[in-house]
Structure 1
Amino acid sequence: MQGFRKFLQGPGGKILLALIIVPFVITAFYGYFTGGNSGDVVARVDDTPIYRSVVEDRVRVTRANMMRQSPNLDPRLLESIVTAPMVLQGMVNNLVILSAAKSSGMQISDEQAGSLLMQMEDFQINGRFDMALFERTVRAYGHTPSTFLVAIKDEVLANQIRAGYEDTEFALPYELADLRRLGEQQRDARYVQLTLSQLAASVEISDEQVKAYYDSHLGDFMRPDEYQLEYIELSRAAFADQVDVSEQALRDEFDARQRVAQQQGGAFEERRQVAHMLFRITAERDEAAAIAEAEKVRAELSAGSADFATLAKAHSEDIATRNNGGRLGLLTREALGGELAQVTFALEKGEVSQPVRSDDGIHLLTVTDIRVPRQPTFEEQRQALLEELRESRQEELLADAVPRLEEMAFEHPDLTVPAETLGLSLKTSPFFTLSQPQGIAAEHDVRAELNERSVLSGQQNSRLIELSDSRFVVVRVADHRPETQMELAEVQDDIRARLQRDAAAEQLAQQEDRARALLSEGADLAAIADAWQHPVESLEGVERGGDSRNNAVAERLFRMARPQEGDTMTEVFRLDNGDLAAVMLIAVRDGQVDGLDDQQQAEALLRLAELEGGNTFRRVMTWMRETGDVKLYLDRLTSAAEGEVE
């Protein structure tokens, strides 16, 4: 069972699941090859346009957010992952989902969204919603407070649509049996392998061959143009030494916040982390039956057969919360309201309530955490206040300096005067090539400026470049080293390795032809091993998608057709890593279909249903895009091509 679970979660399991359960899945990420007329609109969903500038901004923000989370991430890799077409497709999908939600009459009020916002712990200090923290956080991720509230409403609606498909899917026992039979299948094989690297290492290449190759390929060994930048960088940190916050200013700020807290009333009231299970009252199940079902689940909790979160996922009928264990969040008495609040705030931590009636149905409630905030003292808040006021004043100085730098960088032929006037240092980057930028040149927007001929030639300064909400830079090409011929001594090792690989690849091709000829003559694996002068090795009990002593051979092993009972099958093929192998498939043993107890069977079917639910939603997403009013103008992201795609 553990091996089956591991397989399901791996790439092999997902591929196999698609082959068994979803025989024909069309991806929702279309590729269009003709675009629209030149313009700013790059897509339309119904009557809603998506503008190129919005997509480009979303790309920039997404990349910046990912860099904040993973500072060591290679910027070049990030550029290949987060592209404008990919982001546009995601934005189109979101609009299609929201259109479906609103067409169905689904909506969420500003009050509901605001309530969710107030409960988000990321925006709380000592259990209390903090407006300043909220604004700083959302602006760092490219939002304003109002657009973030809209994003919350859209996300709630989109999740309801997704949950309607993903959480209502189910799996049948025969599907699980088929998946286990193939997913836990084991294969035994014997093989001979010729590796490109081993053959290359055995090839002797003379200095004369290296020299001849160098002379005939001089154009391949040019050191590209190198550039060096000088630049002025503006950020909050640049003004750290210019900000001094007095003790009186700290106390005034503390007193002002205390007055706001008192005016809010209840800012320091008790909050409880609440989870629930919901049993709805329907035409088929009256109140008594719903209470009986709740009592049955409560008895399971008392017996200790499973925890609250597990049973909520299995039994709760609140699709919005059941997959996260029924968690409702950190709530005040007022936010919960009515009898639910009365019962919840009478519970001890960890205690489970008796069944409770509400307009939605019958609830079981539990409290996982109790927080009784107290009003912080000045000394407790002093450091946080100091940092906030410093940042605020640094932001003010930055906001004043940014337009001044922009104006002076345009008016002056270099950056010396702007740096001196603003009291900032003139920084210098290392030399770099355009294909391998370093330092400040690795920033995407800086490289975009270097595409301007006047900037790359050093004739003028760049425009003011906004790297983030609080980081700006102006660059200038300070030095340029033209393309030069690399000396033989610098590249002879690379040439020797290249010639060795070429010779090894030719040998592999010859050995492949030789092995195929032997097979056609009826020879066995031993004959191929003799011809290749390599030993025969074994793989036993290899599982699909699992680890083995030779994963490259094992992966190809499962592409081979199943031989007749008692027979073997031998094939010669190139592995995905370029090596050559002859493989004899000896035995195939299917996974055990039986052997799961009732709980394991239920867990496996639930996991399978979750995967099917995801596939179902992807197919629905494809259908909605195909039948909806969706127009894409992908070429407008990069060029002004003619035409329109619908």
Structure 2
Amino acid sequence: MLQEFRENLKGVTATILVGIIIIPFAFFGIDSLFLSGPDNDQAASVNGEKITAFQVQQGIELRRQQILEQFEGIDPTFLTDDQLHGPVVDALVRDAVLYQAARAEGMALSDAAFRDIVASQDVFKRDGKFDPAVYEYTIGRLGYTPKTYRQRVEEEILANQFVGGIFASGFVSPAEVSDFLEINLQERDFHYLTLSLARFVDDIEISDEEVASYYEQQASSFEEPEKLTLEYISLSAESLLDQVKVDDEQVRAQFDAEASQAGGETSWQLAHILVEEQPDGSQEALLTDIQERLAAGESFAELAKTYSQDAGSAQQGGELGSFTQADLPEGFEKALASLEPGQVSAPLTTDSGQHLIKLVSKTEGQLPDFDEQKERIRAELALVAAQEMLPRVVEELKEKSYSVDSLSSVAEEMGLEMGISEPFSRTQGSGIAANPKVLETAYSEDVLEKGYASDVMELQDQDYVVIKLKDRIPAHRKPLDEVRSTIVARLKDQKGAEKAQAKAAELLAKVKGGDNVEDIAVADDIPWQVALNATRFEAQADPRVVAAVFAHPPGEELPVSGQVTTASGDVVVYSVSRVGRADASKVSDEERRGLKASLQQLMATREWNAYEEILVGSAKVVK
């Protein structure tokens, strides 16, 4: 989908293809063959063109992955298919509208361009070269035919190019840049004093009668909904680790197995120039020429790009990657034996032709140290053992939690821990009750009304829980004593605000009468400040004060004063003594160009959003 492109305007063909390829592999695998056949259900349509259920499910998994990557630590069970379905369908509809609009403008992806795109992707290569068999196998695993895969790639590329074209058309005139500077580089000089709300609240006394009256008048604000508390047993491989024993012999055996596999293998980073053999033997002269140019100091990478006939590596300067001994092509090991890093071999003949092999680097293998690895191995073996135990323990938990009076006896018998949730309502919970599946199950008839333990639920992969109602707390109004301090604070703030506003009005009248803000503040021991040559973005005052000060336009008779209440409840009295016009000539050409680019981006974004809404609004969409 196009969300990332809309955000940063950096759609890249390779990224598009990777997204198309990787996401289905990661989440669907071979099952996608059954999800994306010709009879796939329709989830929506745009101007008669179908959006399939497979596309929607694919989009849901992609969006879930994006959210998990963006917000570390978020519980994936919150991201249910139901929650993501609507936004994903809306996004697919918009993407379909954009693709149709691109086609209507005559945009298309040629067969030659598509072949170049596909041939450049590593996922379709074998031994560094594009392999049609790998290509067909890979897209087949995704449920695509060559025709439907080409369509998918074209949709992504054309839609991105269409959006990019609209954004590239954003335009801001020099006059608009000057107007922006005129407005935003204006200056103000102003004095202001701040009447802190706390100054008036501290001395206020609130009577019991006032508290009781407020409690009755605002009764609805103190209502508590029905709440529940749960007993629960969480079960995962990690929760079984205490029941797993791993002895030293197992750790040593695993270490030895890993060490033998690692083998302390040496690896070689290689590059080559391949020259195919010719019937007339002309390749020998070319090889000699290349060797002489290498000896003269010419770049191996540049010569590979020019002369190597290995299409898969030539444009990468002949780079082949890293090889261990088992991976080395036949004959290469002998050629490498006499080379030091940076050296090039004599011509080596294989079935592919003749190679000049460059040893880029060599890494000697090192055997791992047992003392450094043993705790990791022990933990990994324990986790594997716990994972193997888990299915059996899940079945045991299902049997033992069925029709019990309390989960505590089950937890004790099975050597597990039972938890008790904090009270939670039908719409909001914390801890275990923050999970939507747990919340829904807790208020089900079987758990809430009949008092049964729930089924053992899988919240996410290999993470299980069973719940049972512990307490049901009816809806009620919080007792007065519980909310008394809250009421007192509210009433103090109300009365304090009234006093602060009245005092501010009194001081403002003095300012308007010609008194100086500084003198007034000093006389009443009130904090005051002055801002000189302040701009809209540089002023250190509260944002509401800055907004009020700059609301006074150039040309207004000075001094001009006013009062404003900040977000924290403090009241500020200010007096503006100077309104300065901007001097745009002080802005450098570089700053002006940067500003113009930013304004063009802003304008293009606004114009695109409006145009996109028109396109979507005029489309015939069926969901």
Distance of aligned partners of 1:468 and 1:181 in 2 relative to their CA distance in 1, 3 Å threshold: farther
Q: Is the 8 A contact 1:268 1:374 kept in 2?
A: yes
Which residue, out of 463, 470, 473, partners 1:478?
A: 470
Name 2:186's counterpart in structure 1. 185
| Unaligned ranges ≥5, structure 2 | 1-40, 127-140, 144-148, 272-308, 322-358
Q: Flag the 1:459–1:624 CA change in 2: closer, same or farther, 3 A.
A: same
- The one-letter amino acid of 1:68's match is E
After superposition, residues 274-423 of structure 1 pair within 5 angstroms as 337-339=313-315, 341=317, 374=363, 379=368, 394-398=386-390, 402=394, 405=397, 415=407, 419=411, 423=414
Deviation at residue 548 of structure 1 after TM alignment? 1.0
1:502 matched to 2:494? The reply is yes
**2:584 maps to what in 1?**
593
Q: 1:253 to 1:499 in 2, by over 3 A?
A: same
1:602-640, CA deviations, whole angstroms, 9 ceiling, x for partnerless residues? Answer: 4444444444444454344334323434356xxxxxxxx
Residue aligning to 1:140:
none
8 Å CA contact 2:190–2:574 kept in 1: the answer is yes
TM-score by length of 1: 0.54
Among 564, 574, 582, which residue is 2:555 paired with? Answer: 564
CA distance in 2, matches of 1:457, 1:415: 17
What is the DSSP-based 3-state SS (H/G/I as helix, E as strand, rest coil) of the residue aligned with 1:238?
helix
SS at match of 1:379: coil
**Match 1:68 to one of 62, 67, 72:** 72
Q: Which residue of 1 aligns with 2:131?
A: none
Change (3 A) 1:214 1:602: closer
1:59-115 CA distance string (max 9 Å, x none): 8766655553579x9x99x99xx9876666445445545666688434696665554
Q: Which runs of 5+ in 1 are unaligned?
A: 1-39, 119-144, 272-332, 346-369, 633-646
Give the alignment partner of residue 491 of structure 1, picking from 483, 489, 505: 483
- Opposite residue 543 of structure 2, the aligned amino acid is N
1:626 aligned to 2:617?
A: yes
Comparing 49-58 with 402-411, greater Cα deviation is found at: 49-58
Alpha-carbon distance, 1:495 to partner: 1.9
Give the counterpart of 2:434 among 432, 442, 466: 442
Letter of the aligned partner of 1:557 in structure 2?
V
| Cα separation, 2, equivalents of 1:161 and 1:429 | 55
Give 2:178's aligned amino acid: A
Measured in 1, the distance between the counterparts of 2:191 and 2:122 equals: 64
The code of the aligned residue for 2:420 comes to S
Tell me the CA shift for residue 544 of structure 1.
1.8
CA RMSD of aligned residues (A): 5.7
Which whole-Å CA distance do the structure 1 matches of 2:315 and 2:62 have between them?
A: 44
Deviation, structure 1 residue 460: 2.0
Per-residue deviation, 1:477: 1.9
How far the C-alpha of 1:497 sits from its partner, in A, is 1.5
Q: Residues of 2 paired with 1:376 and 1:571: CA distance?
A: 77
Write the distance in 2 (CA, Å) between the matches of 1:427 and 1:41: 45
2:108 is paired with a residue whose SS is: coil
Match of 1:48 among 51, 64, 77: 51
Deviation at 1:554, TM superposition (A): 1.1
2:584 aligned counterpart, secondary structure: coil
**Pair 234,164 (structure 1): closer, same or farther in 2 beyond 3 Å:** farther
Paired with 1:480 and 1:371, the residues of 2 have a C-alpha distance of 71
The offset of 1:427, in angstroms, is 1.8
Please tell me whether the aligned partners of residues 230 and 426 of structure 1 are also in contact (alpha carbons under 8 angstroms): no
What TM-score do you get using the length of structure 2 for normalisation? 0.56
Deviations 1:241-293, CA, capped at 9 Å, x for gaps:
548566556666787799xx99xxxx97459xxxxxxxxxxxxxxxxxxxxxx
**Structure 1, residues 519-543: CA drift from partner, whole Å, max 9, x if none?**
9xx9557599989989675433332
Percent identity reads 20
- Report the 3-state secondary structure (helix = DSSP H, G, I; strand = E; otherwise coil) of the residue aligned with 2:201: helix
SS at match of 1:433: coil
Counterpart position of 2:108: 105
Q: Is the 8 A contact 2:206 2:491 kept in 1?
A: yes
Between 1 and 2, higher relative CO (CA 8 Å, sep ≥ 6) is seen in 1
1:425 offset after TM fit, Å?
A: 1.0
CA contact (8 A) 2:191 2:575 kept: yes
Q: Given residue 341 of structure 1, which amino acid in structure 2 is its aligned partner?
A: G
Query: One-letter code of the match for 1:503?
Result: K
Check conservation: 1:542, 1:554, Cα contact below 8 A: no
In structure 2, what residue type is equivalent to 1:477? L
Match of 1:203 in 2: 204
Q: What is the aligned partner in structure 2 of residue 425 from structure 1? A: 416
Q: Give the letter for the 2:437 counterpart.
A: D
Check whether the contact 1:43–1:630 (CA below 8 A) recurs between aligned residues.
Answer: yes
Instruction: Give the conservation status (yes or no) of the 8 Å contact 1:193–1:534.
Output: no
What is the number of residues matched between the two proteins? 466
For 1:596 and 1:568, how far apart are their aligned partners in 2?
A: 29
Contact map agreement 2:42 2:50 (CA 8 A) in 1: no
Matched AA of 1:553: V
Counterpart code for 1:618:
N
Separation in structure 1 between the aligned mates of residue 474 and residue 125 of structure 2, nearest angstrom: 56
Change (3 A) 1:549 1:570: closer
Give the Cα separation in 1 of the matches to 2:410 and 2:100.
50
